[in-house]
Amino acid sequence: MNKGKVYFVATPIGNLGDITLRALEVLKSCDYIACEDTRHSAILLSHYEISRPTISYHKFNENKSAGYIFQLLKNGKNVAVISDAGMPVISDPGAVLINKLIEHNFDFEIIPGANAGLSALVMSGIDASAFVFGGFLPEHRHDRINYIQRLSNAECTLVFYSACHDLKKDLEDLHSVLGSRKVSISNDITKKFEATFRGVLGEIEIPRPKGEFVIVIEGKPILNELNKLTIEEHVAHYQATGVSRMEALKLVARDRNLPKSEIYNELLKKK
């Protein structure tokens, strides 16, 4: 008998319309669907009239359920794995099963789709060319502070997940280690009351937080000796290299991570 196959399927993170045609095809064709919460997944499956046997597969029974899924595969059954929202394994169950599949040379496939972290990163306006995904911060403060410290020297953008009941303490501890960095906080992405708040760590406040949050923080600033100059000297430095004054303003704004208009206004004050 041929071995079955596992499909790790991304599901919507809020709006049920954010599911791919390929994901629907896989969910309708698989023999079983392993769900992080079968009651929660029933909403999605019912909406798209998908009727397949479901298996409970969450972090508290992951090892046991992975073993059961493995037996189904040996019997030639195909299994789709879904989490409550987004991509399995990313701050959700699934890694145990993937490692078992790799170890025993079983086929599996990823069906991509919606992702809260990437959506919030794009929404933030903070540099998205490189980033570190930090997931949820540890529960205990000592562990949380140590974890943030290990990431504090990264020059790329930092992305974290936070639940509403953890948001206040997460922001306080992020500020205590990282300082007053630029931050963007997105809430309930793709849902009815989706919102994004932008500001600075230590100053930003979220009124009555509810739902799930993604925190996007700028990376550690790259030290630039030119920033020790006055703005006027900084502009003059670039003009001395042969660039136009307008181009010099752009370069200074880039070095100091400030809007070009702010650099221009500072120069006007000196006149």
Cα gap 182→238, rounded to integer Å: 26
Cα gap 76→53, rounded to integer Å: 15
Given a contact cutoff of 8 angstroms between Cβ atoms, the answer to whether 190 and 15 are in contact is: yes
**Domain match, 77 and 168 both:** no
Banded pLDDT at 224 (limits 50, 70, 90):
low
Residue that wins the pLDDT comparison between 228 and 112: 112
Banded pLDDT at 1 (limits 50, 70, 90):
low
Helix axes 245-256, 231-239, angle to 10 degrees: 130
Q: For the purposes of burial, counting CB atoms within 10 Å of the CB of 10, is it exposed (0-12), middle (13-18) or buried (19 or more)? A: buried
Is 80 exceeded by the pLDDT of residue 137? yes
* Residue 31 belongs to a domain: yes
What domain range is 16 assigned to?
6-111
Give mean pLDDT, residues 105-132: 96
**Domain match, 213 and 170 both:** yes
* Residue 48 belongs to a domain: yes
**Domain match, 186 and 257 both:** no
**Domain match, 86 and 18 both:** yes
Banded pLDDT at 190 (limits 50, 70, 90):
very high
* Residue 86 belongs to a domain: yes
Helix axes 62-74, 95-103, angle to 10 degrees: 40
Q: How many independent structural domains does the chain possess?
A: 3
**Domain match, 121 and 174 both:** yes
Is 80 exceeded by the pLDDT of residue 268? no
Q: What is the mean pLDDT of the chain?
A: 92
C-alpha distance from residue 243 to each of 171, 248, 251 (Å)? 42, 6, 10
Report pLDDT digits (tens) over 156-175.
999 999 999 999 999 999 99
- CATH number, domain with residue 99: 3.40.1010.10
Confidence at residue 99, expressed as pLDDT on a 0 to 100 scale: 93
Given a contact cutoff of 8 angstroms between Cβ atoms, the answer to whether 108 and 8 are in contact is: yes
Confidence at residue 159, expressed as pLDDT on a 0 to 100 scale: 98
Confidence at residue 271, expressed as pLDDT on a 0 to 100 scale: 60
pTM over 0.85: no
Q: What percent of the chain has pLDDT over 70?
A: 98
Cα gap 182→226, rounded to integer Å: 21
Confidence at residue 109, expressed as pLDDT on a 0 to 100 scale: 97
Banded pLDDT at 258 (limits 50, 70, 90):
confident
**Domain match, 236 and 209 both:** no
**Domain match, 39 and 97 both:** yes
Last residue of a domain, one of 111, 138, 160: 111
Last residue of a domain, one of 82, 111, 140: 111
Tell me which residue of 90, 88, 132, 135 sits closest to 108, measured CA to CA.
88
Last residue of a domain, one of 111, 130, 156: 111
Cα gap 16→46, rounded to integer Å: 11
Report pLDDT digits (tens) over 64-94.
898 999 999 999 999 999 999 999 999 888 9
* Residue 148 belongs to a domain: yes
Give mean pLDDT, residues 212-233: 85
Instruction: Write b or e for each residue in 170-207: b if 16 or more Cβ atoms lie within 10 A of its Cβ, otherwise e.
Output: bbebbbebbeebbbbbbbbbbeeeeebeeeebeebebe
For the four alpha carbons of 187, 193, 198 and 199, in that order, the dihedral sign comes to negative
Q: ∠ CA(153), CA(91), CA(217), 5° rounding?
A: 35
Cα gap 182→126, rounded to integer Å: 8
- Please give the span between the terminal C-alpha atoms of the chain, in angstroms, as a whole number: 84
* Residue 1 belongs to a domain: no
DSSP H or E run through 245? helix 245-256
Give mean pLDDT, residues 207-226: 86
Confidence at residue 108, expressed as pLDDT on a 0 to 100 scale: 96
Instruction: Write b or e for each residue in 21-35: b if 16 or more Cβ atoms lie within 10 A of its Cβ, otherwise e.
Output: eebbebbeebebbbb
